[in-house]
Structure 1
Amino acid sequence: MKLYDLKTLHMEQPVIDKTPCFSWKISSSRPNVMQEKYRIIVKSGEDFLWDTGEVYSREQSFIEYKGSPLFSEARYQWTVTVWDSHGQSASAKAVFETAFLHQADWKAKWIECSFERKNACGQNFGNSYPPVLFEKEFLLEKRVKSARIYASAHGVYRLTVNKKRPDQREFAPEFTPYGKCLYYQVYDVKELLTEGRNVLQMYVGDGWYFSSQAGPVMQDRHKEPSVVIQMELTYEDGTSEMILSDGSETCRTDFIVYSDLYQGEKQDLTLASGEKKPVMIKDYGYDFLHVQPMEPILPIREIPAVEVFTSPAGETIVDFGQVLAGRARIRIDVPKGQTVSLDYFEILDEKGNYIDTMFAPQKDIVISAGESFVHEALFTFHGFRYIRVTGIEDVRKEDFTAVLLSTAKENAGTFACSDARLNRLYQNVRWSQYSNMMSVPTDCPSREKGGYTGDLLIYAKTALKNEKLTPFLKSWLNSVRLDQAGDGVVMIVSPYMKLYENLMKDVSARYGEDTISGVAGWSDAIVWIPYEMYQVTGDRLVLKENYEAMEKWCEYIIHAAEKQSTLDIPEQYDRYLWNTGFHFGEWLVPGREDHTGEPFGICRETAYYTTPFFGYATIKKMTEICQVLGKKDKAKDYGTIAAKMKTSIQEGMMRRNLMPDDLMGAYVLAFAFGLVPEDLYDAYKKKLLSLLEKSGRCIGTGFLATPFILDVLCDLGETETAHQILWQEKRPSWLYEVDHGATTIWESWDADDAARGGRYVSFNHYAFGCVDDWICRHIAGIDSDTQGYSHIVIRPDMDSHLSWCRRTFECEAGEISVYWDKEKLSVSIPANTTATVYWNNQVYDVGSGSYEWTERSI
């Protein structure tokens, strides 16, 4: 037996500023291995801080530290010993470090650009400004033993010491509600320092902080970039020193003319560096500063160009063969002063030309200094597959490389099968997830780049089965909590951006609301996403961390339901139906996007059922959460309200024939949430199946119902119908996109026609990729009937349209793997779990280990 993958706060050797929790995995060549007990010891040097003693438990994740107080800037070692069911034991060690645990640990001063920057972008999409280069010179007269920099900025920055970067992270300090939380980063720079003169630089672009469109809602926004820098040195002679931002630094502009997350970046390599000017000291405080709690954004993959071609319009276009988020690295050799323009885009028009499907240009510009050089933007990223190139006479594909940027999370799953189109669909899901996990979970990397709550609500189960997301999602959930309004409203995007504050004020006013409304299916994310994290990982801490925000949101739902609606529903039922205010409804129902001819028409058409349905489902989930957390009285209260909501939906809506006649999603959600009365069951099933027949077995659900449709059909005994929808080739369907060249998941089912018809639309939205969760559970057959996959259920769908299938999923205990074909089933179950396996009408209960069943097993 061996222990591996030791994590603190689900990261390897992190630097932290909050209470740690610990996890590990067990490897053993023996079958049927269960953890009997564990012991954790935490030490600082030779000092013991915590000793759990021998704890008889199967728990191996999210074990919270309960020892002596930790100190700032300290290194801790923890050791875990595990005893298994065969009498064996094993131990392993790991370390974590602390950053600043108290505001008083900060000695550096905030310094700010002292000159007023001028708008330098000619595009009509808000102002964009030149980045500012802050510089500090210092002398080192002794040999350095260790050196750490703690740094942050208003803007996004790139840090160098003596012209070298300590790591490859991009867009530090990440995207958060800056007025309430700003991350700082920790760098080990010992190897970058030299005896004598050293130069530390922080180049700061606008990023999200100063963006005209993406800037978070803040009370006090500074006009110019500012930074804080604290370097802590220990010399080999045992002495120590701090080098701090203190007002002695300089600031200036450099070769970037402007940089904007939407409009792109312009670099002029002929520019002389700006005049060095003194900085201003600012008193911005430190109470909102926290060490970055998740992995950084990194370049995680490079994709060489596959083709350069001339379009029918005479344009030179570079094709990378894959839609992605990031930017291009390009070798350029043109005369001095030559301007090279790079227009990034996702799809060609029907003739094969460049087409703009965004409401903002994605254009990078570079002016050559006359020597061959490699160009890459510093402070922007784009959603693209193609680049339209002007200013280079001989465009060669070998000079172009696309760089995929994403928060650097660990892989959690794989999939392959006998159908190449399903394999491509899975890859589309993965590429959309890579592209839209950029500091926060976004809707798309090209148009809005917003942390939409509703998109992740419907996609969370799939996301958690493809990447290890605990630190990333906990960071984002903190933003969601910080953005929550005093009345409990959870915003539709987080961090909450000015763009959406204006939008929500407008639409809420249209619906007679004095304040911004909570939105069903979007605001519910504060309950649903921690709930799904708990289901997949078994993490109770995420429920505890978000409980107060969940409670505030649920109370909002309950009070909003008490408002009288305009529907013809008796008051005794209407008071428990959340059906007032603005809501997006199902959103993106195929064929109904412009059904009413008014803005947000589909919202009015569908919100009257999605809103009370999601209100009920959220309160029901809250009942379960309270039970898990031992809040029995609260569980009882929420359970009572949920029951009244269910009765009101059944009696006030369903029995009064208020269900829509032609919207498939209403019936899918009714079945998915267990709302259909027994006496209406057959009628509703018939109605749903008739709508499917009418659609030609094409999917007819929008945003909120799509995650549930295939499960509902299976539960209704219509598994073959579910197969037909998954393997449907006509539009709207998943394989229509694949057959029409999709390399990511599209925003809407008709995105190709929409874009070519002049609508703004994205070809890189992960939301409808939620189907991969169903593929994992039903086609591959990996599921669980307990939280955290402590008991695994293997039930492959042998009647699907496949001859073989392979899937892996890394749960908290280790990797689960399944391979099946028409002859055999091979399964691997991680240590400290058990499984029930269904194969050829037989049921097998097994422990950990590797197993194979064939036809001869029967």
Structure 2
Amino acid sequence: MRLENLRTAHRTDPVGIDRNPEFSWQMVSAVPGTMQVSYRIVVDDGECTVWDSGVVPGERQSFAEYGGSPLRSATAYRWRVHVVDNHGRAATAAAGFETAFLGDDWTGRWVESTIARPAAESDWGHGTQPPAVEFRRSFVMRPGIRRARLYATALGVYRPTLNGARLDDRELAPEFSVYRHRLYYQTYDVSAQLRTGDNELSLYVGDGWYFCPATRPLGYQSRTMPAVLYQLEIRYEDGSVQTVGSDGSETCRTGPVRSSDLFWGERYDATAAFGEAHPVRVIDLGYGNLVAQPLDPIRPARLLPARSVYTAPGGDVIVDFGQIIAGRVRARLDVTAGTEVTLEHFEATTADGGYFNSTYAGQKDVYVSDGTSREYEPLFTFHGFRYIRVSGPAAVRPEDFTAVLLTTPKQRTGSFECSDPALNRLHENVLWSQRNNMMSIPTDCPTREKAGFTGDIQLYTPAAFANEDMTSFLTAWLRNLAVEQREDGVVPITVPFTAPYERLARTMSEKFGTAGVTGVAGWSDAAVIVPWEMYRATGDTGILRETFASMVAWCDAIIRTARDERGPGALPEEFDRHLWNTGFHFGEWLIPSQRQRGGDFEISALSAAYVAPFFGYRSVSLLAEIAAILGRDPEREHYATEAAAMRDAIHRVFMTGDELPTTLMGGYVLAFAFDLVPPERREQYAAKVVELIEANDGLLDTGFLTTPHLLDVLVRIGRADLALDLLWEHRMPSWLYQVDQGATAIWENWDAVAPDGTPGISSFDHYAFGCVDDWICREIAGIQAGAPGYKHVIIAPRVDARLEWCSRSLRTEFGEISVRWTRDELEVLVPCNTSATVHWGGQRHEVGSGCHRFRSGA
């Protein structure tokens, strides 16, 4: 027996944390039925023990919270865990972490540029942003260094260098957050970069999210100039500490980055040397919103060499990387001085292979050559693309271009492969859209919006955990959600909530008869549903405790809105007061049949009539269940009573007949998915679901909020055969239609590309409809959680004649589960400290950890 995958705060040996950590580990053993009977955690600071948990009986091996003496700032700690199993064997393993600032440790002062900046021309910038600004500072270091750490952040995004060398490969720090409450600072180990004597520190700052007109933060945009804050702490062997903090002695200047924008791209002029030095201005922004970065940094995660270069019918020279990514292009350029090389990024071509810009963002990087051969990669922007249109060079060669994937790296937890190449490609497309849109925050797309839409991650969280360990990433985002939540409990449609989407929210609210920013069904409900799905995936009740106040505030907003506002029609008040049926809602959004009849906003009200009250019930009933899990009986009783009243009102208003008062497929899907169908209506409503699919020529007709539930509902009503048919459908709208059209990521719209290959104005990289990946892994491969966190596993593959074999692995909190099946045989790996129920060949088997093999009929 051995221990592996030790994590602190669900990260590997993190440097720079400012909260008490929790610890996790996994057991590996070849002995069947291995269970943990006790653990002991000891934490030390290199000199003494700061916490000894003692021997703790039980099977817990994740999210064990630190319970020792107060941790000290800027201190390296080591922890080791000793585990004993039910066979009397023991194993020990160790890992580390380092704290950042835990108290009043900041002495550096905010300093900002004094270089005049022209204002952007419009909300979306159009490439008119001003030059990036470099802040510089020299200092002297004496001999005898033991270690050194730099703590730094900026308004804008910054790239630090020390003595001309980059400190690491992270990008776009300090990343995207709700800056007025949570501005991340980064911790760098600079021990190796420092040298005895003179040193020079530089922080080069581009616009980033903070200054970008499309992402500028609300309530914290009082500054118009780039600014930096840093504190370098050098610890010597003699125990002394030298602190070099920002203090106004810096200078600032502009250089080759003449314009940087997250949407419109970067202009880099290699002929523009760094200009004259200007003084900086010391400003008082305080330290109250500073937070040590709680998730791993954005990094270049993969390099994709160009697949081909071709000339389109219109004469454009196009480089194809073969895969849609979020990131940048790295180009080797050797052109004459003054030549402008333009790289225009785009996701899909016209039907004849030409340039096609599907977004209002330019996504254009321009490099002005100084006549030297060099490798160019933008510093302060990123794009969504598979192709680039290149102009400027006389010759364009594929070997000179590489696409650089940027993402927040996360531990890969899932794999899937089967005998159907189309299904494998669909799974790969889901993975790519997840990588491309999990950069600092969960975004909807990396092109025209780059926004943290709450609805997208609400419906995609189960699929996200099926592929990657999302714990620290989504925990950080939920903390942003909590501070972005309004005093009245309303959760905005994006987190962070930015100016364009605040205007959209206010405009649509006024159009639908309300004022200000109001909650939106299926989007604002992320406050409850995301932590709930995290708990189901990991078994961590800590995330429920941490977000409980946010959940309560949101559910109280739903209940209050239903009570105080009367909906359309003349519903009896005794029912209407329990229905959330006012205000603007996106509704299902993107229903295939309805998009053909009108604009998306015009048809959203059709589905909002049931989406809002159904989701209102869903959140309130989940909150009652969460309160029960947390042992909060008064809240459980209160919200269970409210949920029961909402359920009764839904039954009295929507479910008095054999059909719902809607002809939309999604109404029935949500009714079943949220357990709202009365027993006496189940047969009729189930028949109606099937009828609607058959009337639609056997095709789905569900939108954004209902598609995640469609296949599960069909299984629930006994029509798994129909669910499988929809999965393997190749006509539009379907998942495999996208694959047949050459998609390499998940489309925003079912009809993003017409059958003749003509692309539409759409994102070709939206992970939302990739939610089907969760169903594929649960139902086709057959790995389901029988208890939160997969403490108990249900293995029940759904063998289909369209597959000869299927293989799936999933690394859970307890370790790796794997399944491989053919039509005749099933192989299963169950991790230590868990048990499984296996359904195969019409028989049921109860097994413990270890490798198991089953044959049909055996």
For normalisation by structure 1, the TM-score amounts to 0.98
Aligned partners of 1:843 and 1:428: how far apart in 2? 34
Task: Answer with 36-45 or 52-61: which moved more.
Answer: 36-45
Correspondence 1:112-127 to 2 at 5 A: 112-119=112-119, 125=126, 127=128
Assess if the C-alpha contact under 8 Å between 1:569 and 1:653 holds in 2. Answer: no
Aligned partners of 1:5 and 1:606: how far apart in 2? 45
Deviations 1:483-541 (A, max 9, x none): 10010000110011111011111111122222211000000001000000000101111
Task: Answer with 417-426 or 506-515: which moved more.
Answer: 506-515
Asked if 1:418 corresponds to 2:397, the answer is no
- The residue aligned with 1:153 is 154
In the TM superposition, what is the alpha-carbon distance from 1:70 to its structure 2 partner?
Answer: 1.2
Aligned partners of 2:292 and 2:515: how far apart in 1? 37
- The residue aligned with 2:197 is 196
Task: Answer with 283-292 or 190-199: which moved more.
Answer: 190-199
1:754/1:480 Cα in 2 relative to 1: closer, same or farther (>3 Å)?
A: farther
- The residue aligned with 1:257 is 258
- The residue aligned with 2:804 is 803
- The residue aligned with 1:111 is 111
Asked if 1:4 corresponds to 2:4, the answer is yes
Assess if the C-alpha contact under 8 Å between 1:126 and 1:213 holds in 2. Answer: no
Aligned partners of 1:459 and 1:141: how far apart in 2? 53
- The residue aligned with 2:587 is 585
Correspondence 1:325-340 to 2 at 5 A: 325-340=326-341
Aligned identity (percent) is 48
In the TM superposition, what is the alpha-carbon distance from 1:760 to its structure 2 partner?
Answer: 3.2
In the TM superposition, what is the alpha-carbon distance from 1:465 to its structure 2 partner?
Answer: 1.1
- The residue aligned with 2:636 is 635
Amino acid at match of 1:239: S
- The residue aligned with 1:488 is 489
Correspondence 1:380-529 to 2 at 5 A: 380-529=381-530
Correspondence 1:836-851 to 2 at 5 A: 836-851=837-852
Amino acid at match of 1:540: T
**The residue matched to 1:592 in structure 2 has which SS?**
helix
Task: Answer with 794-803 or 698-707: which moved more.
Answer: 794-803
- The residue aligned with 2:569 is 567
1:200/1:823 Cα in 2 relative to 1: closer, same or farther (>3 Å)?
A: same
Amino acid at match of 2:317: T
Assess if the C-alpha contact under 8 Å between 2:817 and 2:831 holds in 1. Answer: yes
Assess if the C-alpha contact under 8 Å between 1:230 and 1:243 holds in 2. Answer: yes
- The residue aligned with 1:236 is 237
Assess if the C-alpha contact under 8 Å between 2:138 and 2:201 holds in 1. Answer: yes
In the TM superposition, what is the alpha-carbon distance from 1:50 to its structure 2 partner?
Answer: 2.0
In the TM superposition, what is the alpha-carbon distance from 1:49 to its structure 2 partner?
Answer: 2.2
Deviations 1:609-661 (A, max 9, x none): 00001111111111110011100121111111111111111111221688344
- The residue aligned with 1:764 is 765
- The residue aligned with 1:205 is 206
Asked if 1:37 corresponds to 2:41, the answer is no
**The residue matched to 1:192 in structure 2 has which SS?**
coil
Task: Answer with 601-610 or 587-596: which moved more.
Answer: 587-596
- The residue aligned with 1:747 is 748
Assess if the C-alpha contact under 8 Å between 2:349 and 2:759 holds in 1. Answer: no
- The residue aligned with 2:672 is 671
Aligned partners of 1:663 and 1:126: how far apart in 2? 43
In the TM superposition, what is the alpha-carbon distance from 1:126 to its structure 2 partner?
Answer: 7.3
- The residue aligned with 2:777 is 776
Assess if the C-alpha contact under 8 Å between 1:594 and 1:601 holds in 2. Answer: no
**The residue matched to 2:826 in structure 1 has which SS?**
strand
**The residue matched to 1:194 in structure 2 has which SS?**
coil
In the TM superposition, what is the alpha-carbon distance from 1:63 to its structure 2 partner?
Answer: 1.1
Deviations 1:160-212 (A, max 9, x none): 11111121000100100111110000001111112222111100000000011
CA RMSD of aligned residues (A): 1.6
Aligned partners of 1:583 and 1:548: how far apart in 2? 24
1:68/1:506 Cα in 2 relative to 1: closer, same or farther (>3 Å)?
A: same
**The residue matched to 1:209 in structure 2 has which SS?**
helix
- The residue aligned with 2:702 is 701
Amino acid at match of 1:115: I
Aligned partners of 1:241 and 1:556: how far apart in 2? 51
In the TM superposition, what is the alpha-carbon distance from 1:679 to its structure 2 partner?
Answer: 2.2
Aligned partners of 2:52 and 2:801: how far apart in 1? 52
Assess if the C-alpha contact under 8 Å between 2:127 and 2:259 holds in 1. Answer: no
**The residue matched to 1:802 in structure 2 has which SS?**
coil
Asked if 1:287 corresponds to 2:297, the answer is no
Task: Answer with 260-269 or 109-118: which moved more.
Answer: 109-118
1:549/1:5 Cα in 2 relative to 1: closer, same or farther (>3 Å)?
A: same
Asked if 1:19 corresponds to 2:20, the answer is yes
Task: Answer with 562-571 or 741-750: which moved more.
Answer: 562-571
In the TM superposition, what is the alpha-carbon distance from 1:240 to its structure 2 partner?
Answer: 2.3
Amino acid at match of 2:261: D
**The residue matched to 2:71 in structure 1 has which SS?**
coil
Aligned partners of 2:763 and 2:756: how far apart in 1? 8
**The residue matched to 2:210 in structure 1 has which SS?**
coil
**The residue matched to 1:41 in structure 2 has which SS?**
strand
In the TM superposition, what is the alpha-carbon distance from 1:75 to its structure 2 partner?
Answer: 1.9
Assess if the C-alpha contact under 8 Å between 2:350 and 2:758 holds in 1. Answer: no
Assess if the C-alpha contact under 8 Å between 1:723 and 1:801 holds in 2. Answer: no
In the TM superposition, what is the alpha-carbon distance from 1:560 to its structure 2 partner?
Answer: 1.1
Aligned partners of 1:473 and 1:520: how far apart in 2? 20
Aligned partners of 2:42 and 2:426: how far apart in 1? 46
In the TM superposition, what is the alpha-carbon distance from 1:716 to its structure 2 partner?
Answer: 0.9
- The residue aligned with 1:180 is 181
Deviations 1:77-101 (A, max 9, x none): 2221111111111122222111100
In the TM superposition, what is the alpha-carbon distance from 1:759 to its structure 2 partner?
Answer: 5.5
Assess if the C-alpha contact under 8 Å between 2:260 and 2:266 holds in 1. Answer: yes
Task: Answer with 839-848 or 432-441: which moved more.
Answer: 839-848
1:758/1:221 Cα in 2 relative to 1: closer, same or farther (>3 Å)?
A: farther
Amino acid at match of 1:112: E
- The residue aligned with 1:538 is 539
Aligned partners of 2:375 and 2:97: how far apart in 1? 38
**The residue matched to 2:276 in structure 1 has which SS?**
coil
**The residue matched to 1:744 in structure 2 has which SS?**
coil
- The residue aligned with 1:56 is 57
Task: Answer with 815-824 or 691-700: which moved more.
Answer: 691-700
Amino acid at match of 1:399: D
Aligned partners of 1:252 and 1:298: how far apart in 2? 27
Aligned partners of 1:125 and 1:513: how far apart in 2? 33
In the TM superposition, what is the alpha-carbon distance from 1:261 to its structure 2 partner?
Answer: 0.3
In the TM superposition, what is the alpha-carbon distance from 1:709 to its structure 2 partner?
Answer: 0.5
Aligned partners of 2:801 and 2:489: how far apart in 1? 45
In the TM superposition, what is the alpha-carbon distance from 1:595 to its structure 2 partner?
Answer: 2.6
- The residue aligned with 1:710 is 711
Aligned partners of 1:20 and 1:687: how far apart in 2? 51
Task: Answer with 734-743 or 838-847: which moved more.
Answer: 838-847
Aligned partners of 1:680 and 1:381: how far apart in 2? 51
Assess if the C-alpha contact under 8 Å between 1:595 and 1:601 holds in 2. Answer: no
Task: Answer with 395-404 or 36-45: which moved more.
Answer: 36-45
Q: Structure 1: where are the runs of 5+ without partners?
A: none
Aligned partners of 1:678 and 1:671: how far apart in 2? 11
Q: Structure 2: where are the runs of 5+ without partners?
A: none
Assess if the C-alpha contact under 8 Å between 1:803 and 1:821 holds in 2. Answer: yes
Amino acid at match of 2:526: A
Amino acid at match of 2:592: P
**The residue matched to 1:92 in structure 2 has which SS?**
strand
